[in-house]
Amino acid sequence: MKEIVLITGAGGMIAQNLSKKLENEYTIRFLTRKKRRDNEFEWNIKDGTMDESALENVSHIIHLAGANISEKRWTKERKRELISSRVDSAALLLKTLKKKKIKLKSFISASGINYYGTVTTDKVYTEKDPPGNDFLSEVVVLWERSADDFKEQNLAERVVKVRTAVVLSKENGALKKMVPTIKYGIGSALGSGKQYMPWIHIDDICSVYLAALKNSDMGGAYNAVSPQHTTNENLTKKIAEVLKKPLFMPNVPAFVLKLIFGELADALLEGSRASSQKIQDTGFQFKFPDLEGALENLLKKEK
């Protein structure tokens, strides 16, 4: 009999791709705001309610729920939403598991590479480094703390926190936003362009979650980031090269981005490198470890 895996954040890019990778070995259920399929169960984070039958006989939860960091300006209300969608959703799961006296084999939570703060530096961060001191690192610290509660309260045998870099996918995210501008000759790097952009191919991030699910020795935080580092400027140039398009435009000035995005601009203008060594030490192998190969795979139909 297949083990049951419950995935939150059902409509997200990672959830949809991950479920395809898991469906042969596991029975998949989703928590979603509006049920559309038989394997979906409704929850309302704001009201603190959920269809408790979603948890019947569940062995693992993969917690991917969380409002998009870069979708809107960071007003006070948006900041609360970014935290609540991650922390309150985990608290609702924990409360319901406790009520139903269910203990999981694993609770695997999304997390962010912004744990280390939004800053440009030559340092390469590892999982042993402390968190940063800006808003995004605060979000991630609270996010991870809500995941750790599952082990501390004996509701999961182990907890894995996947500190996710920028996910490259043709379906959504940064790449989908960058490709059209480059194809039409108006693409350019942001700010100095020297800020690092930790990244990972969509197939590799899904494989990280599969590894976390299957490898019972994994626990704690792991940087889900490609071994090859790149800057914003280099990423922009590589996309243009793969698409065989020239880059004419100067870099977008930092002040313009700050006018448009406010505080959110810091997440676009700053960035550091993060090490993938810990996840590789588990035996994990990246299918797309280098940027050019990843872009060739994702953009082959765009040429």
Return d(Cα 184, Cα 177) in angstroms, integer.
Answer: 12
Model pLDDT, residue 303: 53
Return d(Cα 14, Cα 172) in angstroms, integer.
Answer: 10
Task: Look up residue 259 and give its amino acid.
Answer: L
98 belongs to a structural domain: yes
Strand ranges for 71-206 from DSSP E: 106-112, 124-125, 159-164, 166-168, 199-201
Task: Look up residue 142 and give its amino acid.
Answer: L
290 belongs to a structural domain: no
219 belongs to a structural domain: yes
Give the chain's radius of gyration (CA, Å).
Answer: 19
Q: What is the CATH number of the domain that holds 45?
A: 3.40.50.720
55 belongs to a structural domain: yes
Q: Which two tokens stand for residue 194?
A: 């020297």
Q: Which two tokens stand for residue 69?
A: 């960091």
Model pLDDT, residue 177: 86
Domain of 117, in residue numbers: 4-166+199-225+276-281
Element at 97 (helix H, strand E): helix 76-100
Return d(Cα 256, Cα 235) in angstroms, integer.
Answer: 20
DSSP 36: -
Task: Look up residue 130 and give its amino acid.
Answer: P
CB-CB contact of 197 with 239 (8 Å): no
CB-CB contact of 89 with 65 (8 Å): yes
145 belongs to a structural domain: yes
113 belongs to a structural domain: yes
109 belongs to a structural domain: yes
Sign, Cα dihedral of 267, 269, 270, 274? positive
Domain count, the chain: 1
**Which is it for strands 40-44 and 49-50: parallel, antiparallel or unpaired?**
antiparallel
Model pLDDT, residue 82: 94
The model carries a pTM of 0.94
Q: Give, for all 303 residues of the chain, the pLDDT tens digit.
A: 899 999 999 888 999 999 999 999 999 999 999 998 899 999 999 999 999 999 999 999 999 999 998 888 899 999 999 999 999 999 999 999 999 999 999 999 999 999 999 887 889 999 999 999 999 999 999 999 999 999 999 999 999 999 999 999 988 888 888 998 898 888 888 888 899 999 999 999 999 999 999 999 999 999 999 999 999 999 999 999 999 998 888 888 777 878 778 887 787 878 899 999 999 999 999 999 999 999 999 998 665
234 belongs to a structural domain: no
